[in-house]
Amino acid sequence: MSKGILKKLTANFYILLVGLLAFGWAPALAGKQPKIVFKEDTHDFGKVKQGNNLTHEFVFKNDGDDMLTIKNVETSCGCTAALVSNKKVEPGKTGKIKVSLDTRGYAGEVVKFVYVESDDPVQPKIQLKITAAINLPPQPRIDFDRFNIDAGLLVEGDSLEATVAVRNKGELELKFECALENAGFFINGKEAKFPVKVAAGKDVEVTVKVPLLDRIGTVREFVIFKTNDQIRSTLSVTLNAYIVTKDQLKQVFQKYKNILK
């Protein structure tokens, strides 16, 4: 065989190889391999009541010509769980990914994801999605006018005093209690009696007074609210202040007396 003919055959072989790759025939050259195909990759539960535990099975098939192995299944959050029926699926056979969603604590549109990893060389990781529209029954809904209060500069011996408006944005009566060690709580100038009740659509102002005693420097306290709001049963409001001694305050006034005039 002449060198010219050999060179021409070699060139034709490379052209054929490129053509096979271009038309997706590479698997035939590479040997047997698995192929995972899901019947659906999204499921909508529609409108559901809060508190229900929802389940759905995603069906997949091994459309390849070699054993398919499911390596791992992960979810986007702890409220969602996923179980695989078979980690090894023969060619032509099917498997299932059972997904569960706990709707407790959720409201409105919810979207969660499940990630399936396999030894499919083309699609080694596939994302599945579940959605739901969670309806809430009538209930109280607590909210604050602010969650962080800065009392500014205080002098030793002062008390940290702050007021927060507690709002009920729900349809039922809100009940709450406040907790902070050594603190006093007042409503309309009188000591608060717990649980405080707030009608739907109303609000109440709670004043907290914290004795600082001998504390100096940065002060940060957290007022804990316990409520009958099922979604936000425990909340906190942060109180901040900076405490200086009387001598430190005198030094500040002395240093900036010309500016203060």
The domain locations on the chain are 31-135, 142-252
Q: Taking phi first (over 0 means left), then psi (-120 to 50 degrees means alpha), and beta for anything else, what does residue 251 get?
A: alpha
Question: Are 91 and 67 within 8 A, CB to CB?
Answer: yes
How does DSSP classify residue 106? -
Q: Do you find a cis peptide bond into 137, omega within 30 degrees of 0?
A: no
CATH code of 31-135, in short, is 2.60.40.10
Integer CA distances (angstroms), 146 to 143, 149, 191, in order: 9, 7, 22
pLDDT grade for 30, boundaries at 50, 70 and 90:
low
Q: What is d(CA 230, CA 170) in angstroms, rounded to the nearest whole number?
A: 11
Q: What is d(CA 111, CA 131) in angstroms, rounded to the nearest whole number?
A: 5
Pairing mode, strands 108-118 and 68-75: antiparallel
pLDDT grade for 27, boundaries at 50, 70 and 90:
very low
Residue with the bigger pLDDT between 61 and 19: it is 61
Q: Do domains 31-135 and 142-252 have the same CATH topology?
A: yes
**Across 158-167, average pLDDT:** 96
Q: What is d(CA 174, CA 199) in angstroms, rounded to the nearest whole number?
A: 6
Q: Which of 106, 168, 142 is nearest to 237 (CA)?
A: 142
pLDDT tens digits for range 222-243: 999 999 998 889 999 999 999 9
Q: Which CATH architecture has domain 142-252?
A: Sandwich (2.60)
Residue 129 predicted with pLDDT over 90: yes
Residue 175 predicted with pLDDT over 60: yes
pLDDT tens digits for range 110-122: 999 999 999 999 9
Give the pLDDT confidence score for residue 12 in this predicted structure. 56
